[in-house]
A and B are shown apart, each in its own frame.
Chain A
């Protein structure tokens, strides 16, 4: 600890603390431009100069660490004059076109000049102009260098946090300009973090251009609906139109960062095709109806159907309160145990996944995982699927030296921060983790006498496992060496484990061995739906009730419901926010199956394929149009607020569920709560892990410069459950022949499900799906980038343009999930986690 005196007041701070941070801790504000928390200090803008007793020159507080006994002044006449001088220099070559600048009104330069600057300008020379007209850098970024203050936050955030490194300073001196290669269009993540960190109107968002003035916007805090990272953001609207989303320094684990989906993808909310009124099927056609007509219709239709013959499916992008109420409606009001929250995952696999990734033990902060000695990123294309976790891992690894191991089939951006990148075979992750566990066990056998579950090693052979994984023994040795020399090991449990169940048992085994070796093991689930974890914790699973308690009666999962529908085993389905018909899970034609039902009730925001064949459709609301909470993949429970009303007669799902429950139940009050806070209080009782969760709204940075609000992490679940044993776990069952490829899938950087395809901006960034394959495979097939290939398998066929990928393993092709016109799920067969497809030049 060091004692420092700031403006006469003594305080005590950690050794090595920067003067700027020490001052801010002491409540003394020092103005800055180039300083940005979480970026390496550069000390170039000279705005933050302070006086240190005994030193002749003013010193930059943002890069100067305190020394014990240091006496610092921050407000002397000399400093005030220096600030004024710096601001005058900034203004000398600044465009000063505030009236036409999008940043006007929220510009740091404006604010700073207002607060600290000179009152009149003395610069009477010609100004340097970089260009006459603004130029476009990407479909979402537009640039005006004449306003730049050379803080280089854009360049640094792109390199240090996003890891894309596509911006640089060109030119020298006053002609220095931060831009792309030859100012050309960027081939990047289009995340817009360069815009977010820009203090002035130099980097600007193209979709928001000239749309509004900041003071005309009304905003509210919400949570990004695109993946389970749980980024906090503010969505702002004017006259009912949502115009932009942005993140704030120190708020949420994402702080000021978002990815392209988060920052630009919220515009689905303005889609004119949204449902605005209830629809009721009359004479085979859906017709607009009033709410009471629709509810009467539902009551009439549903009350005649036995509870167990009704299926319920709710989207994992609903709030906890909606999901909780829905399962309560299904289980209590309707008396149906058939409830699920995904069209993709098998509920038995999900239960095992929950157990193996220790979700029942409560929340795990992503920062703890990133600060482990070794972070093993596996089972997820993290950089594309959960970009902000990628940012956090990169930044913390650079800061603290976390050793990152990336194990994946395809290359990913995080490879550049990883000391070790392993490219395993598709479906080979389980074998890889087992091989690591086996190798660790065998090398320390003497120490591991009495290791519980040693029988799990029976019949395992390192050579066979390595063959299945497609990994060399040297690579395995490199992995185990890193594990052995780490005190804490963080393992990610990505969605690939849900696709390929073998990995789940291997994860458990690896984790157990590491623990037996005395390591602290942290398992971080990586999920792709905003409230997937919440859906499970709210009991939207056929076998689990809220709070991970075993359900009193086990019901059907999505796949089984569809099969049951086809076989006449159920009569009705209640679907919220999911589209089994459009998504066609598991090769069964959901359309054919659902056609046999006597009643289908759909709540959605759009007229999906499922909604189109429903008997009744109720218009719902998106985040930003409702209150509620999400539980992210870490187990962090975060609240969001309503910004605007949903369009037309649409209502929040919670209100709709309450209304449906109200008309169905004679005993009113079963689940008629429409206030999300009231529902949450009920959840606190039903799921004790949520009892102590703090929902304090703003997840503000605390003094220790941590974004981590641990009070929001769910606690451990009491009791726990025993997952149903998984039946088979055979890797790579099918062998591929000539012209055949293993098929892998997953989300892309710009699309993750139905929602993103309704965003004009995201569709502009990536419209169609592409088939990715290695350069060698492409050339063997006579395919070059952009040409079309025909993919066949499992009685399904699709034609896609080809994209070559340098870091793809040979023999593997990738097709993204959830693209209109491409039902990649159709290639998958039940029980086979790794499909084989034929690829031909089209």
Chain B
């Protein structure tokens, strides 16, 4: 398969505009300006691309919600707050091929009528933020950003906004809140950002990888894009594999690649002779899968059918001997640490669960702990303001379902039986 997302990242000086242009960059945006906004939106719709940030919302549809009123200011925000544990794909693009993202943002801004674009990058990615700022400077210098780009009516300013350590800002309305200088707590919807987003103006928020797909859709065409992946989840996807495999790393593969192929062919299989015990297929919010599920394809539908999700495509592989109570503890500790505090079930529930899991992990369990955990999951799931709480609960429920004995043994002071 021809790579479009990771094609440049290993090239020398790949982050420089000269290198990007030499490798065919910035052709798509010229093409796009000829097409006009409506055509671009139609093409993106036709391509069937779905958001790569985790929720899988059809990108073209999202763009089409933006009012056409030319008197309204509109904004594009790139969600580069990559924070779902196990996920490291967007960082690779921003560090090594920033112009690919910029080009995607230019086309998108033109399509939705935005004159300003912000890249909300998580604060820890200082290196990436500097790379992006340098790339933006280059783009201004070469006339790709600024007033009347290529002599057209289209003008675009682009800025990097650094986060400062808050997973919740990956939620789009929390991101807007943070960008406006507030505490990153989600806003109620409606109004949806497409109508009242940043500074109350129509706003599109797209993930880095989604935006990075846009130039290829314009340049190579809708048919080309749809020729990869599955019918309902077309196109390529970056899978970031970590954990107990021989060759962890990023793999750009068609949507619908099986987990087995990803782990055993591309990643070279397990790191030692211990067999695979479980795999988290889409970041820690996604319920885990077990060896029987390895032939499941990595796409939105198949993952959903298995009760889990494709999420960000972050695949975390665990070998036999991994303590699932500890895995559950680590992930829930993360969620309670990142809970923003806004709604009751998430704020109070995730910390309660974490305290129980910590006891279990330290062999200080009590009878009834596991039942209580499941009850608490039930009191959080579907009751929270935003999906963070749901994510925490789904992963834990999955772990308990598949490895109940391990949890029970911890609760009964029998030590870790993993």
Q: When A and B assemble into the complex, do they touch directly, with CB atoms less than 8 Å apart?
A: yes
Q: Which residues of A contact B (CB under 8 A)?
A: 41-47, 49, 56-58, 63, 81-82, 85-86, 88-90, 92-93, 122-126, 128, 149-150, 169, 171-176
- Extra A-B contacts (4), CB below 8 Å, given A124-B366, A173-B341, A173-B347: A85-B379, A89-B347, A172-B166, A172-B339
Task: Mark contacts of B130-147 with chain A using CB atoms, 8 A cut-off: 1 yes-contact digit, 0 otherwise.
Answer: 000000000000000000
Say whether A44 contacts B382, CB under 8 Å.
no
Ranked 9 nearest A-B pairs via Cβ: A85-B379, A176-B341, A89-B348, A125-B355, A173-B339, A174-B351, A57-B382, A173-B341, A44-B343
Counting chain B residues whose Cβ lies within 8 A of the other chain, the interface size class is: 20 to 34
In the complex, the number of residue pairs spanning A and B with C-beta atoms less than 8 Å apart equals 91
Q: Is B11 an interface residue (CB 8 A)?
A: no
Q: Which residues of A contact B337 (CB under 8 A)?
A: 173
Say whether A86 contacts B347, CB under 8 Å.
no
| Residue on B nearest A40 in the bound complex, by CB | B188
Shortest CB-to-CB span from A58 to chain B, Å, is 6
Q: Is B283 an interface residue (CB 8 A)?
A: no
* A126 to B351 CA separation, bound complex (whole angstroms): 11
- B336, B344, B359: which contacts A46 (Cβ < 8 A)? B344
Shortest CB-to-CB span from B334 to chain A, Å, is 11
What are 10 contact pairs spanning A and B, CB under 8 A? A41-B188, A57-B382, A58-B382, A58-B383, A82-B379, A89-B348, A125-B356, A173-B338, A174-B341, A175-B341
- B166, B188, B341, B349: which contacts A150 (Cβ < 8 A)? B341
Shortest CB-to-CB span from A272 to chain B, Å, is 47
Say whether A86 contacts B188, CB under 8 Å.
no
* A93 to B345 CA separation, bound complex (whole angstroms): 12
Shortest CB-to-CB span from B170 to chain A, Å, is 15
Say whether B345 contacts A46, CB under 8 Å.
yes
Within 8 A of A (CB), among B281-334: none
Q: Which residues of B contact A126 (CB under 8 A)?
A: 355
Say whether B352 contacts A169, CB under 8 Å.
no
Q: Which residues of A contact B414 (CB under 8 A)?
A: none
- B188, B340, B383, B385: which contacts A85 (Cβ < 8 A)? B383
Within 8 A of A (CB), among B376-390: 378-380, 382-385
Shortest CB-to-CB span from A614 to chain B, Å, is 61
Say whether B341 contacts A86, CB under 8 Å.
no
Q: Interface centre among B342, B344, B347, B380, by most A CB within 10 Å? A: B344
| Residue on A nearest B355 in the bound complex, by CB | A125
Q: Which residues of A contact B35 (CB under 8 A)?
A: none
Say whether A174 contacts B379, CB under 8 Å.
no
Shortest CB-to-CB span from A320 to chain B, Å, is 47
Q: Which residues of A contact B188 (CB under 8 A)?
A: 41-43, 63
* A516 to B58 CA separation, bound complex (whole angstroms): 57
| Residue on A nearest B366 in the bound complex, by CB | A124
Taking A42-B188, A124-B366, A150-B341 as contacts, is the C-beta distance between A174 and B382 under 8 angstroms? no
Q: Which residues of B contact A89 (CB under 8 A)?
A: 344-345, 347-349, 352, 379
- B336, B378, B383: which contacts A174 (Cβ < 8 A)? B336
* A479 to B187 CA separation, bound complex (whole angstroms): 36
Q: Which residues of A contact B359 (CB under 8 A)?
A: 125
Q: Is B3 an interface residue (CB 8 A)?
A: no
Q: Which residues of B contact A (CB under 8 A)?
A: 166, 183, 188, 336-345, 347-352, 355-356, 359, 366, 372, 378-380, 382-385
Say whether B344 contacts A44, CB under 8 Å.
yes
Q: Interface centre among A46, A47, A86, by most B CB within 10 Å? A: A46
- A82, A90, A122, A172: which contacts B341 (Cβ < 8 A)? A172
| Residue on A nearest B342 in the bound complex, by CB | A44
Q: Which residues of A contact B355 (CB under 8 A)?
A: 125-126
* A773 to B365 CA separation, bound complex (whole angstroms): 67
* A171 to B356 CA separation, bound complex (whole angstroms): 23
Say whether B345 contacts A122, CB under 8 Å.
no
Q: Which residues of B contact A45 (CB under 8 A)?
A: 343-344
* A174 to B347 CA separation, bound complex (whole angstroms): 5
Say whether A46 contacts B343, CB under 8 Å.
yes
* A41 to B348 CA separation, bound complex (whole angstroms): 21
Say whether B341 contacts A171, CB under 8 Å.
yes
| Residue on B nearest A171 in the bound complex, by CB | B341
* A85 to B380 CA separation, bound complex (whole angstroms): 8
| Residue on A nearest B381 in the bound complex, by CB | A57
| Residue on A nearest B184 in the bound complex, by CB | A172
* A90 to B347 CA separation, bound complex (whole angstroms): 10
* A123 to B353 CA separation, bound complex (whole angstroms): 10
* A85 to B389 CA separation, bound complex (whole angstroms): 14
Q: Which residues of A contact B348 (CB under 8 A)?
A: 89-90, 92-93, 174
Q: Which residues of B contact A128 (CB under 8 A)?
A: 351
| Residue on B nearest A149 in the bound complex, by CB | B344
Shortest CB-to-CB span from A117 to chain B, Å, is 13
* A653 to B27 CA separation, bound complex (whole angstroms): 90
* A169 to B341 CA separation, bound complex (whole angstroms): 9
Q: Which residues of A contact B372 (CB under 8 A)?
A: 122
| Residue on A nearest B354 in the bound complex, by CB | A125
Shortest CB-to-CB span from B387 to chain A, Å, is 11
Shortest CB-to-CB span from B140 to chain A, Å, is 36
* A44 to B347 CA separation, bound complex (whole angstroms): 10
| Residue on A nearest B352 in the bound complex, by CB | A92
Say whether A44 contacts B345, CB under 8 Å.
no
Shortest CB-to-CB span from B353 to chain A, Å, is 10
Taking A63-B188, A89-B352, A173-B338 as contacts, is the C-beta distance between A150 and B344 under 8 angstroms? yes
Shortest CB-to-CB span from A185 to chain B, Å, is 23
Shortest CB-to-CB span from A153 to chain B, Å, is 14
Say whether B384 contacts A46, CB under 8 Å.
yes
* A176 to B356 CA separation, bound complex (whole angstroms): 21
Q: Which residues of B contact A63 (CB under 8 A)?
A: 188
Q: Which residues of A contact B183 (CB under 8 A)?
A: 169, 172
Q: Which residues of B contact A122 (CB under 8 A)?
A: 372
Q: Which residues of B contact A56 (CB under 8 A)?
A: 382
Shortest CB-to-CB span from A590 to chain B, Å, is 57
Say whether B340 contacts A46, CB under 8 Å.
no
Say whether A172 contacts B385, CB under 8 Å.
no
* A47 to B379 CA separation, bound complex (whole angstroms): 12
- B166, B378, B385: which contacts A44 (Cβ < 8 A)? B385
* A82 to B379 CA separation, bound complex (whole angstroms): 6
Q: Which residues of A contact B347 (CB under 8 A)?
A: 89, 150, 173-174, 176
* A149 to B347 CA separation, bound complex (whole angstroms): 11
* A171 to B382 CA separation, bound complex (whole angstroms): 25
Q: Which residues of B contact A173 (CB under 8 A)?
A: 336-341, 347, 350-351
Q: Which residues of B contact A93 (CB under 8 A)?
A: 348, 351
* A560 to B342 CA separation, bound complex (whole angstroms): 64
Q: Which residues of B contact A46 (CB under 8 A)?
A: 343-345, 383-385
Q: Which residues of A contact B352 (CB under 8 A)?
A: 89, 92, 123, 125
| Residue on A nearest B356 in the bound complex, by CB | A125
* A86 to B384 CA separation, bound complex (whole angstroms): 10
Q: Which residues of A contact B336 (CB under 8 A)?
A: 173-174
Shortest CB-to-CB span from A50 to chain B, Å, is 12
* A169 to B183 CA separation, bound complex (whole angstroms): 9
Q: Which residues of A contact B345 (CB under 8 A)?
A: 46, 85-86, 89
* A47 to B166 CA separation, bound complex (whole angstroms): 26
* A57 to B387 CA separation, bound complex (whole angstroms): 12
Q: Which residues of A contact B378 (CB under 8 A)?
A: 85
* A181 to B385 CA separation, bound complex (whole angstroms): 27
* A729 to B396 CA separation, bound complex (whole angstroms): 80
* A650 to B188 CA separation, bound complex (whole angstroms): 57
Q: Which residues of B contact A149 (CB under 8 A)?
A: 344
* A723 to B227 CA separation, bound complex (whole angstroms): 89
* A90 to B379 CA separation, bound complex (whole angstroms): 12
| Residue on B nearest A152 in the bound complex, by CB | B342
Q: Which residues of B contact A123 (CB under 8 A)?
A: 352
Q: Which residues of B contact A57 (CB under 8 A)?
A: 382
Say whether A90 contacts B344, CB under 8 Å.
yes
Q: Which residues of B contact A175 (CB under 8 A)?
A: 341
* A81 to B336 CA separation, bound complex (whole angstroms): 23
* A58 to B378 CA separation, bound complex (whole angstroms): 13
Q: Which residues of B contact A92 (CB under 8 A)?
A: 348, 352
* A485 to B213 CA separation, bound complex (whole angstroms): 49
Q: Interface centre among B338, B359, B379, by most A CB within 10 Å? A: B379
